Structure 1
């Protein structure tokens, strides 16, 4: 994977670029002035990151795998230690599918009824391959989302969810919280 240099990322005009950011030159970005990247972010080939008015805020130690997309006018926030698997679609805007309105961005907004709303993935969220996340949802701390799931409502912390729409399956272990301080100590010592 060919990656942008730190200087090339700064030249693109991101709102913020942290340290050790590894982004494929095959990824596409729109609205870069509204995109903030924390430390140790990795974004793989063929991802589309398109920020609207709300912006996109990506924390530290976040991986966004191949063919994933973050799109919409609402704010998208991905907190520290999140993992977005391949072909995940996160939408902070969604057309009205009822047939009562016209759809798609080529139509003036007076003829559409687009739902814009924030999407928040809190700390330690992992999203399985092929998931779709719709506007106005929060995936609370530690949520694990099984592959090919659809999220159309908030998901409570430290649960494993799967399905269309996503349903609670069982609790998720919190052992990773014991590993986080040791990892950060190790990581910080390597950076000195």
Structure 2
């Protein structure tokens, strides 16, 4: 694990990369990383996350700035800018049920070949997907999702990169840290090794590539 300045950490992300971003309606989203993506003028990104937050907050900043061309999310209801751009054809939005989305990411992180879910059977969500019958029940085979980068917000990181999270900010963050080639963490506090008790570590340092310096 390396500690990097904010600008150098974001400079690692090339145009056209795929990003998983933690957070739920902006809670648990690494705001400094969002701001720096906009400042550096990144383009053509694919963003995989729970939602697109709201204008001026979290992933909503990426929507407004035109940083990403595609979003894979579970809802966009709180961000009228996302809706407007989707309807205008300026961005592509792939909507997935929330539970299905996080399970597909988990499958990507755990090396699974996919998941079976009854959610979406008989709806538009099944178009183009393989259906499997088990014990008389129809399921959709949902494929794993991985990304080039995971952008994670943590409450505490030690200098090895062991992470803990605060309350509901835990949400998508630990799961996306399993499913990306490079994991960049913005932690509210960086503490000496040993300050985080081993049984309090949620994301172990072996998964973390870079922690943004303060």
TM-score, L = length of structure 1:
0.26
Structure 1 or 2: more helix by fraction: 2
Using structure 2 for the length normalisation, give the TM-score: 0.25
